[in-house]
Amino acid sequence: MLAHDRTGAGPPLVLLHFLGGHRRVWRSLLPALEAEREVVTLDLPGFGASRALAGSPTVPRLADAVARTVERLGLVRPAVAGVALGGSIAIELARRDAASCATAISPLGFATRPEVAFAKASLRATIAACRALAPRADALAAQGAVRTALGAQMFAKPWAVPAEEAAELVRSVAHAPGMLPTLRAAVGHEVVAGALTAPVTVAWGQRDALFLPRQGARAVERLPFSRLVALAGCGHVPIWDAPELVTQTLLDGSAPR
């Protein structure tokens, strides 16, 4: 079973983090979400306290691991939501009818080959920078200018990420055993058109500098029963850019139907 936290009350909502993240990235949103949902936050394989997969961590295999944990928790077709990598896993679970609905924020799977190559190169550079900075992560993350420089591609407002959480992310990107294998196996994932009856909300930060917002239009063209939500003023990972907007998007996308 994947490492997880389970809090709140109401219809269940499973939250899946982005590449390099962990289940604690959602903590600033939890008070508002827990008031209306039973929230399950997971560490994906190879991140946080979850063991890495024995084989290649492709999106379908990561979805298998999430589905097994959801089943062991006794949840039946919960709402699922995620950012980037987590968003693609949420779509995969909806495609399998293992989720009642999915909210995918800037998901992988809709990039062209040049866009994938750009994203992989950018992420490799981020990994290298985080490995160099990890020994001094706490001291460096305390400086707003450093957070801004390091997080400019991932966040529209990198200075808004609390210093403690920024330092945690630097260490996770630098040291998580799943980081490089998942980058290699999952970032080139392609979501293909096909049968899908669960409703999907695709949300895209309009200042996403890693996976450009034009990919959102491709997503809703490819996915039946989907809608596109523009996240104004938000980057690739919008959790700290606009917490109230992201919270409402998650609540709207997971509302019982």
Q: Write out pLDDT tens, residues 45-88.
A: 999 999 999 999 999 999 999 999 999 999 999 999 999 999 99
Per-residue pLDDT reduced to its tens digit, 149-160: 889 999 999 999
Contacts of 65 (CB under 8 A, 6+ apart): 2, 44, 45, 53
- Confirm if 39 and 59 have CB atoms less than 8 A apart: no
DSSP state of 75: -
- Confirm if 201 and 229 have CB atoms less than 8 A apart: yes
| Structural domains of the chain ordered from first start | 4-112+189-253 (3.40.50.1820), 115-180 (no CATH)
Structure pTM? 0.97
Neighbour order of strands in the sheet with 38-42:
4-8, 38-42, 12-16, 79-83, 101-105, 200-205, 226-231
Q: Which amino acid type is present at position 212?
A: L
Residue-averaged pLDDT of the chain: 95
